Amino acid sequence: MNINTLEGEGYTIIGFEGDVDLSCSPDARKSILDVLQADKNLLIDLAKVSYIDSSGVASLVEAYQTAKKQSLKFGLVGVSEAAMSVLKLARLDKVFPIHNSVEEYEQEDA
């Protein structure tokens, strides 16, 4: 898994690439919590995720809940088919705010 962090206007985007599984979900979790601890709105880009397991999904749930507690914005963008199929199994596709693209998020946010 690769992690790419990008600063946008008023938010940070973390992009995961490859397989987000038990071998690397602690790294994914840390990168997420770092952003939220810095009090920044968080977008997570799952477009290049080829696989995500329940430990990766757990980090997303934690991010969602932590952001809420801190009144920060949280959303997913460009969810890959593989990731979406897992979110659906977890019934989280209706819980998480999901945007097709960063542009869409910015428009909705404006």
Buried b (16+ CB within 10 A) or exposed e, 2-36: ebeeeeeeebbbbbbeebbeeebbeebbebbeebb
57 touching other proteins, by CB under 8 A: yes
Residue 27 CA from chain centroid, whole number? 13
- The widest CA-to-CA distance across the chain, in whole angstroms, is 38
37: contact with other proteins by CB under 8 A: no
The Cα 102–Cα 36 span in angstroms is 18
Compute the least distance from the CB of residue 74 to other proteins, in Å.
13
* Residue selected from 20, 44, 59, 98 as contacting other proteins according to rule CB under 8 A: 59
Q: Does 54 bind other proteins (CB under 8 A)?
A: yes
If one asks whether residue 35 binds other proteins (CB under 8 A), the answer comes out as no
Q: Does 3 engage in binding with other proteins (CB under 8 A)?
A: no
Q: Which residues form the interface with other proteins (CB under 8 A)?
A: 19, 21-23, 51, 53-55, 57-59, 61-62, 64-65, 82, 85-86, 89-91, 95
